Structure 1
């Protein structure tokens, strides 16, 4: 008998960070499902993110002479240079916004669960007050509920399932800029709107109270430190169209048979029934073509030579 106190408190993952899910077929063995964010990344335009990271590294290096020295000392060591670049990003406080956003995100969860909040800095308090005002008409039905989309073997955790005017919607809390990446957001919410709740403790699938809208989702934009929060509709039907394209791209990337050795044509030619072709030849010129083709394919043998000569005599005798 299993000890209920030993039940996992979060989704178990494999060494690649994929959530382990028991497939619906009931094989009994968990599989690594693709994380939703990873799945939709197949179509993400990373240009702006890459440019931002370059700027952060440049700023960090300008402020840390020791990191510049490390670059000079390890310019041929890729692993070390990666470590230096990451340190330079940290020196430029590249992760501070993400840290603040994660904390603010956690506070919104406590608000929606009806839990008390600790004393907050004034800036954070203004953000939370703005969040309460903007979401007053949204009733949270599920908060951080892990779910799966079995047809594509995707697992992920939407921020919220909310009820608004009697309809359920997938909602996403964003504490940073939403000027870029709208397609990725729409793709994720499109997947979640079609997904099924999954209890990782019991490995069972559940159901939402009602169908979730698959045309529109809600983005709760709470830019950290601004004291502002606004709701926006996002077209997740178009997002789902993009998910289907991402599925095709991932399938293409998994395709292995792109190349074929040169000798493959000769191997296939060797399997040709040359003897039957000789027997069916109706003219000497046709025999000459068969000779040439067999020779090119590396299939011309003494036996085939004898068959060709015998058939040539037959055709000439019948002429």
Structure 2
């Protein structure tokens, strides 16, 4: 007897994904501090993107698409048949762009950065590194260990929410440091610490803003409201639930005392065997975060353009042009 696979009921995963649930735009869904239905919060990095000049990034992505198309000419053949004004074709074209970028190696650095972040977690937890680690990665981790030896890790990858900004995100580390500060004078306390594996030549303001937002955050325990983040139906039903203020309050807790004037960037450029620390000015960063909030609110401003209405004296006919 043949077996029809379509007749076999699909089993749910034995281990549901209990990470922070997200909406269709990838935003973390957070139960508000005062209770109510889960609400989409902007990711920290996305929130502060509006303060950054992306012209160099756009040029870089465009070059990668061109290079990717030369390496995979079949992508151009597929694109030639699609209409960039058609909604369905737009999605297909976007997918082809991603494939072209991948063919050009645009995502290699991102994947490598994620891998180094994973390895740094082994180091900070005091666990042995994987036996399969390459010599270059071992050099990077040795440099990381030396540079961060002055820091004592207090917490690793904690999710925080900043209610006044409607922002949520995960910081890399909360680290204790005692020694000379950015001005050479003694300083001590807990500092938000973030590891960057790419260039720090650009995006300095964004980095300072990112750490400033994290330093003002409240720890949020999303497991107080468990739902399988991979089960779309379960998430859809969960989103409709109304949680009480008492239930919500149990999910929020303050960060340990943390310096809100300075943060620390750990710069670990992949494959160099070099790691350097930088102070990030969080006063500048927080001012920019508030500027980002103003810009985002301004984007919803209406009435900047109005229809042009003219009156023709001879005919008495009014004409208008909608824009």
Larger RCO (CA within 8 A; separation ≥ 6):
2
| Aligned residue number for residue 283 of structure 2 | 237
| Aligned residue number for residue 14 of structure 1 | 23
Residue 35 (structure 2) pairs with residue 35 (structure 1): no
8 A Cα contact 2:211 2:282, kept in partner: yes
| 1:65 Cα offset (Å) | 2.7
| 1:132 Cα offset (Å) | 0.5
How is 1:190-209 mapped onto 2 (pairs within 5 angstroms)? 190-202=212-224, 204-209=251-256
| Aligned residue number for residue 167 of structure 1 | 189
How is 1:1-319 mapped onto 2 (pairs within 5 angstroms)? 9-27=18-36, 29-74=37-82, 77-119=89-131, 120-165=133-178, 166-202=188-224, 204-210=251-257, 212-258=258-304
8 A Cα contact 1:7 1:201, kept in partner: no
| 1:7 Cα offset (Å) | 8.6
- The alignment of Structure 1 onto Structure 2 pairs a total of residues equal to 257
List alignment gaps of at least 5 residues for structure 2.
1-13, 179-187, 225-247, 310-323
| 1:149 Cα offset (Å) | 0.7
How far apart in 1 are the matches of 2:90 and 2:48?
29
Deviation string 1:214-249 (CA, Å, 9 cap, x unpaired) is 111100000011111110111121111111111111
| 1:50 Cα offset (Å) | 0.6
Deviation string 1:273-317 (CA, Å, 9 cap, x unpaired) is xxxxxxxxxxxxxxxxxxxxxxxxxxxxxxxxxxxxxxxxxxxxx
List alignment gaps of at least 5 residues for structure 1.
264-319
How far apart in 2 are the matches of 1:79 and 1:33?
25
| 1:22 Cα offset (Å) | 1.6
8 A Cα contact 2:268 2:274, kept in partner: yes
TM-score for the superposition, normalised by structure 2: 0.74
